[in-house]
Amino acid sequence: MNLDFIAKPMGMLVKLLYNMVSTLDTEYISAYAIAIILSTIIFKLIMMPFTLKQSKSMKKLQDLNPKMQELQKKYSKDPQTLQRKQMELYKEANYSPFSGCLPMLLQFPILISFFYVIQQPVKYVFQDQVFFDSMNKTFLWIKDLGFTENHIFVAEDLAKGVNEAMINVVNGLSMGGVSLPFIGSAFPILAAISAFTTYLTSKMTSASQPSMGEQQEATQKSMNMMMPLMIFIFGIQFPAGLGLYWVISNIFQLLQQYIIMNSSKNSKEELK
């Protein structure tokens, strides 16, 4: 799927933000890191109408859950009648089973294109490899967001005449010049945070869904465990800039979901 037509405008947004915050560039937080954070927040704000619609759809389905369970018990041995009654219930409540899927389908190509932008910043953002290589790309403990979090830098130390066997400078966290061990490199803290925030978002989303059957619940639990693991593996294989994007995106989603869930609780209390 070629999403250049979406990725290029997003790359222009990141470049615009980078130019705006270039004066804020510091030793520990680069303008590039700030541009990634701001563009992620702007992207999430643009997507907010779709995510709100999806959340409202899930909320409506949750409200219908008691009636759905009654129908399932009553017509457990008659799947055709059960399906017909469910559709009648949906129609009565003005609910579409596909209303929650449409926002997700709309978001998917934009999410992938944003992934392209952060993964290939030279192509979509800066159009200059020399400039990108020379610019500051630090973020707290991470030396260069353009590399994997536990990337070992060799060239800089070789230029200083350090023996290759003595090099232990890593992109991730180090203590007193000695890297914390993790598969021979630094512990990928950002990848771990990405996995943890993914787990939290999955748990919060599951909590807002209606009750499911035992098999569906088992599948959901497996997904809640597998998804963070996959994100962690991706986090140690892709540029750290993607990990930063993912963490900020998850934090935004957690706050948004928390506000939605609390607002629905408050509305219920007001009705009482």
Q: Which two tokens stand for residue 197?
A: 């925030």
pLDDT at site 162: 43
H or E, element range at 174: strand 174-175
Residues 145 and 108 in one domain: yes
Residues 159 and 263 in one domain: no
pLDDT tens profile 220-267: 777 778 888 888 888 888 888 888 989 998 998 888 877 776 765 554
Q: Has residue 270 got a pLDDT over 90?
A: no
Residues 32 and 131 in one domain: yes
Residues 162 and 265 in one domain: no
Q: Which of 128, 161, 186 is at the close of a domain?
A: 186
Residues 115 and 168 in one domain: no
DSSP annotation of 27 reads S
129, 19 Cβ separation under 8 angstroms: no
227, 198 Cβ separation under 8 angstroms: yes
AA identity, residue 44: K
How many domains does the chain fold into?
2
pLDDT at site 216: 64
Q: Which two tokens stand for residue 233?
A: 């593996």
CA distance 243 to 1: 23
Residues 198 and 103 in one domain: yes
Average pLDDT, the chain: 76
Residues 129 and 232 in one domain: yes
Q: Find the domain containing 176 and state its range.
A: 150-186
How many angstroms separate the Cα of 42 from the Cα of each of 47, 88, 108, 123, 248?
A: 9, 40, 16, 21, 11
Residues 135 and 247 in one domain: yes
pTM: predicted TM-score of the whole model, two decimal places:
0.73
pLDDT tens profile 12-65: 999 999 999 999 988 889 999 999 999 989 888 888 887 777 777 777 777 777
Residues 199 and 243 in one domain: yes
CA distance 109 to 40: 15
Which residues are registered as beta bridge partners of 185?
A: 182
Sequence-separated (6 or more) residues with CB below 8 Å from residue 14: 35, 36, 39, 117, 121, 124, 125
Q: Has residue 71 got a pLDDT over 60?
A: yes
Q: Taking the alpha carbons of 98, 99, 101, 106 in that order, is the dihedral positive or negative? A: positive
pLDDT tens profile 136-164: 888 988 888 887 877 666 555 445 444 44
pLDDT at site 28: 87
**Does 188 or 107 have the greater pLDDT score?**
188
Residues in the chain, how many? 272
Residues 43 and 157 in one domain: no
Q: Which of 139, 158, 186 is at the close of a domain?
A: 186
Residues 62 and 52 in one domain: yes
Confidence band of 99 (pLDDT split at 50, 70, 90): low
pLDDT at site 166: 40
Residues 34 and 127 in one domain: yes
